[in-house]
Chains A and B, each alone.
Chain A
Amino acid sequence: MGHPLVNKSPDIIIVGAGIVGAACAAACARGGLRVLVLERGPIGGGTTAAGMGHLVVMDDSEAQFALTSYSLRLWHALRPQLPEAVEFIACGTLWCAADAEEMAEVRRKEKFYSDRDVRVEVLDAQGVAQAEPQLRPGLAGALCVLDDGVIYPPCAAHFFIELARQHGAEFRGHAEVSALLPEGGVQLRDGSRLSAGRSVNAAGPWSPALAPGLPVRKRKGHLVVTDRHPGFVHHQIVELGYLKSAHSVSKDSVAFNVQPRRSGQVLIGSSRQFDAEGTEVNQEILDRMLRRALEYMPSLGNLSAIRVWTGHRAATPDKLPLIGPSAASDRVWFATGHEGLGITTSVGTGQLLADLLLGRPPAIAAAPFAPARFAQGGTFHD
Chain B
Amino acid sequence: MTETVQINVNGHALVVPVGTVVAGALAIAGVTQFRRAVGGAPRSPVCGMGVCMECRVTINGRAQSRSCQTLCEPGMEVRTDE
Contacts and interface: CB of A to CB of B under 8 A. Distances in A.
- Asked if A and B are interacting partners, one says yes
Given A227-B64, A302-B62, 11 more contacts: A227-B53, A227-B56, A228-B38, A228-B63, A228-B64, A229-B63, A229-B64, A263-B38, A303-B64, A304-B64, A306-B53
Interface of B: 38, 53, 56, 62-64
A227 B38 CA distance: 11
Contacts of A303: 64
Nearest to A232: B63
Nearest to B64: A227
Contacts of B62: 302
Contacts of B53: 227, 306
Interface residues of A, number: 8
A306 B64 CA distance: 11
13 contacts: A227-B53, A227-B56, A227-B64, A228-B38, A228-B63, A228-B64, A229-B63, A229-B64, A263-B38, A302-B62, A303-B64, A304-B64, A306-B53
Top-4 shortest CB links A-B: A227-B64, A229-B63, A302-B62, A263-B38
Interface of A: 227-229, 263, 302-304, 306
Contacts of B56: 227
A229 B58 CA distance: 11
A302 B56 CA distance: 14
Contacts of A228: 38, 63-64
A228 B65 CA distance: 11
B70 to A, nearest CB: 13
Nearest to A306: B53
A303 B56 CA distance: 12
B21 to A, nearest CB: 18
Nearest to A228: B64
B57 to A, nearest CB: 12
A227 B37 CA distance: 12
Nearest to B66: A304
B50 to A, nearest CB: 11
A303 B64 CA distance: 8
Nearest to B63: A229
Contacts of A302: 62
Contacts of A306: 53
Nearest to B35: A228
A306 B53 CA distance: 10
Contacts of B64: 227-229, 303-304
Nearest to A226: B64
B17 to A, nearest CB: 28
B80 to A, nearest CB: 15
Nearest to B62: A302
A263 B37 CA distance: 11
A84 to B, nearest CB: 13
A302 B64 CA distance: 10
Q: Of B53, B56, B62, B63, which is in contact with the most chain A CB atoms at under 10 Å from its CB? A: B63
Contacts of A229: 63-64
Contacts of A304: 64
Contacts of B38: 228, 263
A262 to B, nearest CB: 10
A240 B45 CA distance: 43
A23 B80 CA distance: 43
B66 to A, nearest CB: 9
Nearest to A227: B64
Contacts of A263: 38
